[in-house]
């Protein structure tokens, strides 16, 4: 690990000022410290934001508000979260391990780096740690990599489960920076790799995530998160799907779907949603709609199976929305 | 003389030390003035180091030494091979030349005053290579199998070729037959405790606090490498945080720690990173196998052909008993086995729990299940119909064999009768349920071992053996043996292990520790009792004064004349009279005549139930039952724990574990515990282990067969067969993954 300077911020203003001057925020540290030990991350200055009053979990009207510093485990266990947005709780419980969930924060979760093995190896080319150096995964081993949103420069999947749920639920986020506050959809936080895979999000220099806001909808109760993987816990998704249906009798009025493990960013499945609206929640309907998810997929030899696994996971997640969570 | 502690389900005598943190592992033995060494691992998979520029890091704060092949001392590397080292080939000579033989090979060490500084400098060391493309996939063209030379030698425990009858002819004319190929991934051991060595020289004497399953061999190996007398090296390892075989051999990091310590004149601590544990500390070799079975319509085998090959390095021929069990597991007149090696640009593999048998029996037992389905016979019934009366490969009787009893007990506890035969015929809601079964076996070995017992004035006994305890409970079981033999309580016995200056023990692996070390302790206890009896009969105050010492027996730690009720002196009293501890050392080993007369193996029957999600292909083991015939069970609680661990290892082998190498440069791409999957708690269902009553008077004086290996063997094929039963899909590669069962 390279030497670094650690400072502690007492207020958001202090933290933002430090970050604007080049410091990196550190909260749970579950991604950052891990990567610093590998020297993949090499910050010279860290600003510890754990003392900021941003760990609140509350309900404002019918909006669930998650402070950026709320721990994954606290959010998952919170009665309001389980009552109003069980999908959020389910996606959090499926992520990481209990030890990591106790440390990792909501803001950090959204900004976690990719899980591509080559990204974590300094002796492999990677356009994320050295733009222009090439991508070792494209011609290498990529069974876990993305089939959607890839470019010739990067095929790494976004690793967050929570982000998939938030994107499906049209959550927004409030950020604060040197130029003041702004709010935008969580969906707009993530960039596609294109030819700049080292740029992963749309935050401006010094901007700090303050909170995430999840609007309630008619579909909140019929919402499930299905994560498919080879072991039962502590593994990133091969494919995951957040699904929420809003019904009017036997007709789907609104559908919200997003997938993880398949895209270079959390992947909202709008064509699938549109194909479901106005239909009955039957398996044949689900299957036909799910096929639309992979229409634009670009599989590689080792992740070809995701072409089949993604639609199947969508179908199963949709069926689960009709079952008791 | 019997206190009845053998056979009791006692808790671990070292349990408190382990859970309270007072048990000291290799890396805990910090030494005064200690400095830290970090290995720099090659980042190419084959080639040469052309340049190392250490000028920049040598001036970094705290850097004490940078050792590369250019400035490393030329080490003696005297001839030394134990049975744990490959018999053919030569061990890696570390930092002795510029060759890179595999990805991750050590190419330098950096020594600094703190670990941080050593790591930092190691990461910054500039090394230039001339790289070639390594061959790391045994399925690549041009990878020619070779005959393992050691397996052609007279008396070898692994046979390159064996044959009886006319297996190819019988296969051709068999009414029912199958011929299938199996591919098992490379696995790395991944124990919790990393490899670690603290090395300290005093003149030309070296002390190593080093994670080892074989301290006397580490002593001899390091002495040979450095060209110093064996007596000048002391290896200390009282506790092991799991090993599964990875610490049987002495790997290059031990040499590097000792080399660095001598170079800098201070004690050096060297701990491998998790990533480095995928490089130079062995692995279960990837294996490719073919099994062909021919049978009569009633399921009686008429032909069994088992061909297999394992990967090895280019500099050593690592062999394991891949095809042995196919010779004796079933009755069959026509059998051929063939074992080959495929040398690749990788580090040398080594033994990993259930070595050889775990992989070979997987292929055999999956093929047997396939045969059962080809003939519409219940898989358990098929095994019954092929139960042999003797070991037909060796043409001699088994010392004991309880496989059918294991099937009785296992079937009953598992509820095999409730299984419906047809694949895809069982469901729980929408989940496909499958039940599979497999036989397991592992040889009951015994190796020469020695033990020392010292009786003390306070009535206690000290027992010393250079043995190891990687988790099975050696501390506890050996304490039980000594307590039983001496008629003492457990608290009165102080058993010590893990020092190379104790009487020698064999490697702690191959399921022979109980048989070997236990027998040695038994012999040493008998010897010390004889010695104490000699003292007792010459003591005028003793009720046994003048009695022939052979007439003395010991009851609850007191001497008395055989058949006489009057208690005589205790051990402690005799020691007090003698004025010095009474001590005896004894050795034990297997009677070669017994080995000539009997085939000695443990057997087991393993049952597993899986649930497969028909939509998304997830496979979960829901429960498993193993029934084992392992002779005498010294401690049922420890034995069950050992079985549970082995079964979990089998779940890993079946569904998760594989080290993935990038074909371009041979790098393991998943050298991380988040990416190399082993089962987590949520993957582990109810596991049951049962031990059938088995008295084996031949195998060794304690009647024990060993358990560590067989606990893993059988689990993977039982799971694979259960996956077939659930889905109707036969997967012949391990691990079985979601994508393998997706289109079912």
How many C-beta neighbours within 10 Å does residue B360 have?
Answer: 31
Which member of A123, A136, A235 has the closest CB to residue B43?
A: A123
Whether residue A235 and residue B674 make contact (CB cut-off 8 A), yes or no, is: yes
Report the distance separating Cα B740 and Cα A300, nearest Å.
17
Chains A and B form CB pairs within 8 A to the count of 84
**CA–centroid distance for B158 within its chain:** 16
Closest residue in A to B274 (Cα–Cα): A38
Q: Find which of B648, B669, B672 to mutate to test the A interface (most A CBs within 10 Å of its CB).
A: B669
Which member of B320, B370, B709, B739 is catalytic? Answer: B709
Q: Which of B472, B439, B434 is nearest to B655 (CA)?
A: B434
Which chain B positions have a beta carbon within 8 Å of A226's beta carbon?
616
Does B544 lie in the same domain as B398? Answer: no
Does B238 lie in the same domain as B199? Answer: yes
CA distances, A10 to each of A26, A47, A52 (Å):
13, 10, 6
Residue A317 domain boundaries: 223-321
CA distances, B43 to each of A155, B107, B675 (Å):
23, 9, 20
Which chain B positions have a beta carbon within 8 Å of A309's beta carbon?
616-617, 738-739, 742
Closest residue in B to A144 (Cα–Cα): B675
Which pLDDT does position B1 carry in this prediction? 40
**Total number of domains in chain A:** 2
Buried b (16+ CB within 10 A) or exposed e, B267-294: bbbbbbbebbbbbbbbbbbbbbbbbbbb
CA distances, B53 to each of B67, B97, B325 (Å):
11, 16, 52
Mean pLDDT over B166-187 rounds to 98
- pLDDT tens-digit readout, A98-146: 999 999 999 999 999 998 999 999 999 999 999 999 999 999 999 999 9
User: Under a CB-based contact definition with an 8 Å cutoff, are residues B612 and B622 in contact?
Assistant: no
CA distances, B146 to each of B151, B184, B493 (Å):
11, 19, 51
Instruction: Indicate which CATH number applies to the domain containing B553.
Output: 3.30.365.10
| Direct distance between the N- and C-terminal alpha carbons of chain B, in angstroms, rounded to an integer | 62
User: Under a CB-based contact definition with an 8 Å cutoff, are residues B352 and B318 in contact?
Assistant: no
Q: Find which of B42, B279, B614, B616 to mutate to test the A interface (most A CBs within 10 Å of its CB).
A: B616
With respect to residue B3, please indicate whether it lies within any of the assigned structural domains. no
- Give ipTM to 2 decimals: 0.96
Lowest mean pLDDT among A176-180, B555-559, B664-668: B555-559
Report the distance separating Cα B63 and Cα B500, nearest Å.
33
With respect to residue A76, please indicate whether it lies within any of the assigned structural domains. no
Whether residue A312 and residue B616 make contact (CB cut-off 8 A), yes or no, is: yes
User: Under a CB-based contact definition with an 8 Å cutoff, are residues B222 and B206 in contact?
Assistant: yes
Residues facing B223 on adjacent strands? none
Does B376 lie in the same domain as B271? Answer: no
Mean pLDDT of chain B: 96
Report the distance separating Cα B444 and Cα A125, nearest Å.
50
Which pLDDT does position B3 carry in this prediction? 62
- pLDDT tens-digit readout, B81-91: 999 999 999 99
For residue B716, the distance in angstroms to the closest alpha carbon of chain A comes to 15
Does B424 lie in the same domain as B302? Answer: yes
Does B436 lie in the same domain as B578? Answer: no
Mean pLDDT over B721-738 rounds to 98
Closest residue in B to A306 (Cα–Cα): B739
Which chain B positions have a beta carbon within 8 Å of A234's beta carbon?
674, 680
B694 is catalytic: no
- pLDDT tens-digit readout, B43-74: 999 999 999 999 999 999 999 999 999 999 99
With respect to residue B610, please indicate whether it lies within any of the assigned structural domains. yes
CA distances, B188 to each of B276, B286, B347 (Å):
11, 10, 12
Report the distance separating Cα B484 and Cα B162, nearest Å.
43
Instruction: Indicate which CATH number applies to the domain containing A21.
Output: 3.30.43
With respect to residue B356, please indicate whether it lies within any of the assigned structural domains. yes
Location of structure tokens 């030329």: B74
Does B156 lie in the same domain as B298? Answer: yes
Contacts of B175 (CB under 8 A, 6+ apart): B295, B296, B297
Q: Is the bond preceding B735 in cis, omega lying within 30 degrees of 0?
A: yes
Q: Find which of B105, B618, B685 to mutate to test the A interface (most A CBs within 10 Å of its CB).
A: B618
Element (H, E) at B59: none
With respect to residue B9, please indicate whether it lies within any of the assigned structural domains. no
Percent of all residues in chain B with a pLDDT value above 70, rounded to a whole number: 99
For residue A96, the distance in angstroms to the closest alpha carbon of chain B comes to 9
- Runs of H (alpha helix) within B266-391: 325-328, 357-374, 379-385
pLDDT at B363 over 50: yes
Which chain B positions have a beta carbon within 8 Å of A315's beta carbon?
615
- pLDDT tens-digit readout, B280-319: 999 999 999 999 999 999 999 999 999 999 999 999 999 9
CA distances, B1 to each of A286, B283, B451, B526, B635 (Å):
74, 45, 20, 11, 19
**Total number of domains in chain B:** 3
- pLDDT tens-digit readout, B198-256: 999 999 999 999 999 999 999 999 999 999 999 999 999 999 999 999 999 999 999 99
Residue B631 domain boundaries: 149-186+284-445+596-741
Whether residue B669 and residue A118 make contact (CB cut-off 8 A), yes or no, is: yes
Whether residue A231 and residue B683 make contact (CB cut-off 8 A), yes or no, is: yes
| Direct distance between the N- and C-terminal alpha carbons of chain A, in angstroms, rounded to an integer | 44
Instruction: Please calculate the CA angle B698-B703-B706 and round it to the nearest 5 degrees.
Output: 110
Torsion angle (degrees, nearest 10) of CA B2, B7, B8, B11: 120
Does B517 lie in the same domain as B413? Answer: no
Does B351 lie in the same domain as B266? Answer: no
- pLDDT tens-digit readout, B311-362: 999 999 999 999 999 999 999 999 999 999 999 999 999 999 999 999 999 9
Whether residue B656 and residue A230 make contact (CB cut-off 8 A), yes or no, is: yes
Which member of A3, A141, A309 has the closest CB to residue B616?
A: A309
Closest residue in A to B655 (Cα–Cα): A230
Mean pLDDT over B725-732 rounds to 98
Which member of B682, B683, B738 has the closest CB to residue A228?
A: B738
Which pLDDT does position B566 carry in this prediction? 82
Does B653 lie in the same domain as B563? Answer: no
- pLDDT tens-digit readout, A167-220: 999 999 999 999 999 999 999 999 999 999 999 999 999 999 999 999 987 666
With respect to residue A104, please indicate whether it lies within any of the assigned structural domains. no
User: Under a CB-based contact definition with an 8 Å cutoff, are residues A252 and A245 in contact?
Assistant: yes
Instruction: Indicate which CATH number applies to the domain containing A291.
Output: 3.30.390.50
Contacts of B282 (CB under 8 A, 6+ apart): B189, B245, B246, B248, B249, B251, B347, B348, B349, B350, B351, B352
Angle (deg, nearest 10), helices B357-374 and B636-655: 70
Does B122 lie in the same domain as B158? Answer: no
* pLDDT tier, B743 (very low <50, low <70, confident <90, very high otherwise): confident
CA distances, B317 to each of B96, B204, B228, B305 (Å):
21, 33, 27, 23
Report the distance separating Cα B443 and Cα B438, nearest Å.
17
Interface of A with B (CB under 8 A): 1-3, 39, 97, 115, 117-118, 120-124, 136, 139-141, 226, 228-236, 238-239, 305, 308-309, 312-313, 315-316
* pLDDT tier, B539 (very low <50, low <70, confident <90, very high otherwise): confident
Contacts of A210 (CB under 8 A, 6+ apart): A12, A54, A67, A68, A173, A174, A175, A176, A181
pLDDT at B555 over 90: no
Sign of CA dihedral A39, A42, A48, A54: negative
Does B387 lie in the same domain as B332? Answer: yes
* B554, B574, B589 - which closes a domain: B589
Location of structure tokens 């069982």: B426
Location of structure tokens 């392992």: B630
* B258, B278, B298 - which closes a domain: B278
Mean pLDDT over B370-398 rounds to 98
């Amino acid at each position: 690990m390279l030497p670094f300077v650690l400072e502690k911020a007492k207020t958001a203003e202090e933290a933002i000022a430090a970050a604007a001057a080049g410091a990196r925020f550190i909260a749970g540290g579950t991604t950052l410290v891990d990567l610093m030990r590998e020297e993949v991350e090499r910050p010279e200055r860290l600003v510890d934001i754990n003392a900021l009053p941003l760990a609140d979990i509350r309900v404002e009207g019918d909006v669930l508000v998650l402070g950026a510093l709320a721990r994954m485990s606290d959010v998952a266990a919170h009665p309001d979260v389980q009552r109003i947005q069980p999908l959020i709780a389910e996606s959090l419980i499926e992520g990481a391990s209990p030890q990591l969930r106790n440390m990792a924060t909501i803001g950090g979760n959204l900004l976690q780096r990719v899980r591509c093995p080559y990204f974590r190896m300094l002796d492999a080319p990677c356009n994320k740690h050295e733009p222009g150096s090439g991508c070792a995964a494209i011609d290498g081993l990529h069974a876990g990599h993305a089939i959607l949103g890839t470019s010739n420069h990067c095929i790494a999947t976004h690793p967050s489960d929570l982000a998939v749920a938030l994107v499906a639920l049209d959550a927004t986020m409030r950020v604060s920076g040197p130029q003041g506050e702004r709010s935008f959809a969580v969906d707009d936080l993530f960039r596609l790799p294109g030819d700049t895979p080292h740029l992963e999000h749309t935050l401006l220099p010094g901007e700090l995530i303050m909170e995430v806001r999840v609007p309630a909808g008619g579909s909140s109760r019929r919402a499930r998160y299905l994560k498919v993987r080879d072991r039962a816990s502590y593994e990133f998704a091969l494919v995951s799907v957040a699904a929420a249906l809003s019904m009017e009798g036997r007709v789907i009025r609104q559908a919200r779907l997003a997938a993880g493990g398949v895209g270079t960013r959390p992947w909202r499945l709008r064509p699938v949603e549109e194909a479901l609206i106005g239909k009955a929640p039957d398996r044949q309907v689900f299957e036909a709609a799910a096929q639309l998810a992979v229409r634009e997929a670009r599989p590689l030899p080792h992740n070809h199976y995701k072409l089949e696994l993604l639609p199947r996971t969508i179908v199963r997640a949709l069926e689960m929305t009709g079952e008791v969570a | 003389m019997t206190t009845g502690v053998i056979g009791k389900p006692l808790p671990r005598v070292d349990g408190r030390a382990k859970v309270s943190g007072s048990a000291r592992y290799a890396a805990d033995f910090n030494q005064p003035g200690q400095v830290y060494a970090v290995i720099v691992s090659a980042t190419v998979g084959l080639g040469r180091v052309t340049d190392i520029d250490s000028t920049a890091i040598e001036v970094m704060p705290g850097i004490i030494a940078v050792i590369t092949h250019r400035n490393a001392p030329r080490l003696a590397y005297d001839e030394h091979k134990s049975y744990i080292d490959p018999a053919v080939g030569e061990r890696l000579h570390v930092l002795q030349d510029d060759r890179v033989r595999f990805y991750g090979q050590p190419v330098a060490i950096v020594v600094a005053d703190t670990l941080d500084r050593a790591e930092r400098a190691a990461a910054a060391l500039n090394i230039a290579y001339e790289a070639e493309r390594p061959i790391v996939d045994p399925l690549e063209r041009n990878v020619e199998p070779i005959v393992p030379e050691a397996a052609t030698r007279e008396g070898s425990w692994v046979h390159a070729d064996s044959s009886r009858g006319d297996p190819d002819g019988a296969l051709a004319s068999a009414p029912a037959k199958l011929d299938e190929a199996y591919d098992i991934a490379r696995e790395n051991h991944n124990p919790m405790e990393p490899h670690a060595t603290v090395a300290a020289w005093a003149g030309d004497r070296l002390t190593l606090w080093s994670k080892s399953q074989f301290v006397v061999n580490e002593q001899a190996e390091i002495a040979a490498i450095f060209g110093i007398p064996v007596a000048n090296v002391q290896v200390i390892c009282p506790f092991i945080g799991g090993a599964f075989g990875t610490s049987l051999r002495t790997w290059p990091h031990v040499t590097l720690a000792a080399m660095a310590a001598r170079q800098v004149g201070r004690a050096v601590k060297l701990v491998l990173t998790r990533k480095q544990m995928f490089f130079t500390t062995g692995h279960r070799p990837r294996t490719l196998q073919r099994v062909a079975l021919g049978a009569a319509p009633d399921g009686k085998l008429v032909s069994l052909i088992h061909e297999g090959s394992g990967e090895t390095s280019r500099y050593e021929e690592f062999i394991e008993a891949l095809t042995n069990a196919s010779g004796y597991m079933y009755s069959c007149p026509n059998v051929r086995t063939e074992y080959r090696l495929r040398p690749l640009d990788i580090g040398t593999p080594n033994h990993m729990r259930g070595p050889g048998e775990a992989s070979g029996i997987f292929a055999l037992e999956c093929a047997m299940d396939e045969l059962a389905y080809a003939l519409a016979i219940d898989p358990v019934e098929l095994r019954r119909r092929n139960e042999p009366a003797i070991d037909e490969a060796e043409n001699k009787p088994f010392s004991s064999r309880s496989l059918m009893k294991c099937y009785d007990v296992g079937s009953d506890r598992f509820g095999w009768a409730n299984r419906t035969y047809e694949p895809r015929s069982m469901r729980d809601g929408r989940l496909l349920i499958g039940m599979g079964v497999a036989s397991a076996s592992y040889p009951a070995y015994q190796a020469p071992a020695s033990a020392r017992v010292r009786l003390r004035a306070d009535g206690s006994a000290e027992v010393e053996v250079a043995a190891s305890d990687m988790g099975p409970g050696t501390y506890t079981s050996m304490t039980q043996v000594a307590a039983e033999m001496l008629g003492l309580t457990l608290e009165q016995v102080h058993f010590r292990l893990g020092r190379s200056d104790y009487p020698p023990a064999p490697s702690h692996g191959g399921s022979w520790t109980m048989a070997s070390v236990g027998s040695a302790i038994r012999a040493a206890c008998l010897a010390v009792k004889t010695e104490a009896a000699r003292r007792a009969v010459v003591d005028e105050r003793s009720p046994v004064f003048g009695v022939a010492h052979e007439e003395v027996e010991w009851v609850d730690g007191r001497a008395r004349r055989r058949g006489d009720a009057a208690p005589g002196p205790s051990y402690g009293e005799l020691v007090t009279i003698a004025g010095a501890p009474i001590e005896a050392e004894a050795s034990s080993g297997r009677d070669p005549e017994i080995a000539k007369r009997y085939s000695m193996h443990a057997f087991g029957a393993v049952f597993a139930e899986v649930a497969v999600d028909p939509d998304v292909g997830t496979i979960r083991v829901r429960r498993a039952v193993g029934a084992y015939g392992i002779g005498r069970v010294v401690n049922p609680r420890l034995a069950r724990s050992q079985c549970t661990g082995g079964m979990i290892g089998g779940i890993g082998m079946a569904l998760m574990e594989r080290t993935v190498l990038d074909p371009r440069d041979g790098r393991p791409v998943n050298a991380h515990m988040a990416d190399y999957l082993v089962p987590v708690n949520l993957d582990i269902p109810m596991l049951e282990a049962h031990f059938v009553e088995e008295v084996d008077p031949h195998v060794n004086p304690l009647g024990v067969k060993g358990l560590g290996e067989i606990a893993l063997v059988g689990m993977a094929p039982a799971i694979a067969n259960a996956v077939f039963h659930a889905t109707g899909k036969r997967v012949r590669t391990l691990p079985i993954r979601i994508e393998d069962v997706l289109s079912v």
